[in-house]
Amino acid sequence: MSQSEVYNGADWGPGLAGKYRYSTQPSLTVSFTGFAVGLALYGVSVFQCLFYIVAFPKDKRTIKSAVFLVLYVVSFTRLVPAT
């Protein structure tokens, strides 16, 4: 067996970008689906908070503050991307 026939594990890396062509379409579809589901759940959270404000106007300020704190945390995690 000559040296050129020995497998050296070089079937990957930046120099082989043209050899393998992968489509980014499936990953964009999954990303968009995740974004859409996350946005829908965020809308449910905002609606739930607004419904609470209308349904229970006489609740104590501490309970309302806790609800708004939870909404703020949810909003912060939705708006700031994880790195």
* Per-residue pLDDT tens over the stretch 32-48: 888 899 889 889 989 99
| Phi, psi angles (nearest 5°) of residue 81 | -70, 145
Going by the DSSP 8-state scheme, the letter that residue 81 receives in this structure is P
Residue-range domain boundaries for the chain: 3-79
Contact status, residue 49 vs residue 64, Cβ threshold 8 Å: no
pTM of the model: 0.59
**Cα(35)–Cα(65) distance, rounded to whole angstroms?**
28
Stretch 59-67: mean pLDDT: 94
Contact status, residue 42 vs residue 70, Cβ threshold 8 Å: no
Angle separating helix axes 25-55 and 61-79, nearest 10 degrees: 170
Q: pLDDT confidence of 69, banded at 50, 70, 90?
A: very high
